[in-house]
Every structure is written in structure tokens, then in C-alpha cells.
Amino acid sequence: MPPTRPSKELQVFPNPAPQRDYLIRFQLPEFTCLCPLTGQPDFAHFSIDMVCDKLCVELKSLKLYFWSFRDEGAFHEAVTNTVLDDIVKATAPRFIRVSARWYVRGGIYTDVVVEHRKKGWKPVDPVTLPPAQMATGLST
């Protein structure tokens, strides 16, 4: 079997529950690319929240996709927007938010957050439950 290699190709599979909105959250804490000005490595923690429509993104392909940036020079804003655009192109989700927390460089953290909503999609109202009462084990 050939070794795994980085890839820009995002694989998808049919959403197993397209009749409902549900959140998928990906945490990718080990993102790396290169600073386009200095060539030094940049590190980020990506969080992706998405409500799929007909297609979901396959996890191994997402890992290989993120790996494909390792030797590329790119500004933080460009990478974050590219990730959003590529996932939208592959899956056409109802909603997606890509948040990137870029680690400190020169005393500055950079957070970049981008979103996409499918035209006409509105989230359902969240369920609000009353606070739970704690059982004390004491009888009165």
C-alpha cells in the first residue's frame, strides 16, 4: 500500500440524516503553513462548525487536505477563506463557520472567522431547558 500523501481533494459521502439540521464540529489543532514573507512556519488551531445538506466531508480526506498546506506560503486570512470556499464547493452545506486561531507571532494572536449560509436556510430555534435541580440526598 502506498504511503499517505497530502491532497487538495475533499471526499464526501451522503448525509445519513438530511431531514434534520445537526451540527458537526471538527477540531484541527495542528495546522501548519509557511509565512509568505519570511518562509517561517505558522501554526493554527482550526474549528469547523457545519450543518450539512446532502453531503458530509470525509474525515481522512479533510486531514490530508489540511496537511496539503504545510509547505505553502499563505496569509492567515487567505488560508481561512480558502478552507471555507473549498468545503462549500465540495459539500454545499446549509451552514458552515471556519474559525482559525493563529498562534502568537511577534506578540500578536490572529483569529480569522468566516461563514457561509445556503440561500434561504434559517437555523431552528434552540431548545431552552430549565436549570436542573441538584439532588442533595437530604430528606425533609
The single residue of 35, 49, 53, 86 carrying the catalytic annotation is 35
Q: Active site includes 85?
A: no
Set 33, 42, 52, 56: catalytic member = 42
Q: Is the dihedral of CA 87, 50, 84, 94 positive or negative?
A: positive
Rounded to an integer, what is the distance from CA 125 to the centroid of its chain?
22
- 140 vs 130: CA distance, rounded Å: 23
Q: Are 69 and 31 in contact (CB under 8 A)?
A: yes
Q: Beta partners for 102?
A: 44, 110
Question: How crowded is residue 127: how many other Cβ atoms within 10 Å of its Cβ?
Answer: 5
Compute how many other C-beta atoms are within 10 angstroms of the C-beta atom of residue 42: 21
In the residue annotation, 42 being an active-site residue is answered as yes
Q: Mind telling me the catalytic residues? A: 35, 42
